[in-house]
């Protein structure tokens, strides 16, 4: 399994090629099919992890609260994904074996806290909406296992209500993106049915044509990355 650019895009090199002779003598190979993945480690009750494809380590240690800001390319096919405690053989979580990754498809691999204890992993196939440069597109993940239910408000308008921890795993409707009006907004996660704010942020711009995953993360008493917070991840490759 060949893995490309899992943690960074690397440096792009530009070459000037001088063609000699007839072009038909220099066949041009079509682009090789690839799949695209993004990784979110939002499990604060687990140690830093390394991700393995089959038995091949493909990332350095990934700290809780870390996530890829861009999709990375991998060869299509069946991939067994395991998250192990960094520097050891202790398995933190794994995906079901034999998952197939289609060419030209996009996936998010999510490591999250299990409300019942421990960490779990899931694979989300990201189905992007038809391009529309008059709208933004959003979805919301509730990834704070110790908060039973939350509402997400965008500029005092409830957009998602009564969301439970990691409910997008079993209800795939929550993995879909919905159209929203572009603009600058304050985002608030509140205890469901109340005005008690768990976390808030002001996001500079939900851009027209942009596709965003908004998520609540954090644990009680957390500091730094593990503090309650709302983050916004724009899809990019």
Q: How many CA atoms lie within 13 A of 223 on its CB side?
A: 0
Q: Which residue has the higher pLDDT, 190 or 23?
A: 190
pLDDT at residue 228 tops 60: yes
What's the mean pLDDT in 78-105?
96
Q: Which residue has the higher pLDDT, 6 or 105?
A: 105
Separation CA 36–CA 126 (nearest Å) = 10
Query: CA dihedral in degrees (203, 6, 8, 216; nearest 10)?
Result: 20
**Is 71 within 8 Å of 106 (Cβ atoms)?**
yes
Tokens 């995906």 -> residue:
95
What's the mean pLDDT in 99-106?
96
Separation CA 140–CA 217 (nearest Å) = 11
Residue 171 has a pLDDT of 95
What's the mean pLDDT in 139-162?
96
Separation CA 207–CA 204 (nearest Å) = 9
Q: How many CA atoms lie within 13 A of 6 on its CB side?
A: 19
What's the mean pLDDT in 9-24?
34
Domains of the chain in sequence order: 1-126 (2.60.40), 129-237 (no CATH)
């Amino acid at each position: 399994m060949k893995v490309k650019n899992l943690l960074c895009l690397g440096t792009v090199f530009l070459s000037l090629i001088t063609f000699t002779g007839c072009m038909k003598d220099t066949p041009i190979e079509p682009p090789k099919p690839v799949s695209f993945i993004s990784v979110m480690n939002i499990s604060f009750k687990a140690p830093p992890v390394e991700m393995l494809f089959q038995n091949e380590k493909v990332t350095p240690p990934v700290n809780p609260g870390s996530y890829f800001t861009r999709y990375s390319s991998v060869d299509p096919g069946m991939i067994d994904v395991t998250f192990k405690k960094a520097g050891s053989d202790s398995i933190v979580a794994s995906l079901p074996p034999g998952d197939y990754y289609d060419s030209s498809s996009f996936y998010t691999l999510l490591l999250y806290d299990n409300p019942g204890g421990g960490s779990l992993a899931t694979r989300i196939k990201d189905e992007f909406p038809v391009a529309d440069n008059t709208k933004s597109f959003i979805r919301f993940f509730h990834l704070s296992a110790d908060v039973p239910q939350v509402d997400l408000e965008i500029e005092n308008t409830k957009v998602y209500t009564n969301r439970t921890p990691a409910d997008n795993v079993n209800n795939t409707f929550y993995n879909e993106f919905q159209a929203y009006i572009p603009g600058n907004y304050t985002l608030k996660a509140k205890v469901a049915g109340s005005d008690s704010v768990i976390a808030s942020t002001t996001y500079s711009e939900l851009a027209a044509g942009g596709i965003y995953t908004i998520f609540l993360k954090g644990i009680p008493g957390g500091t730094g990355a593990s503090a309650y917070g709302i983050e916004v991840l724009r899809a990019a490759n």
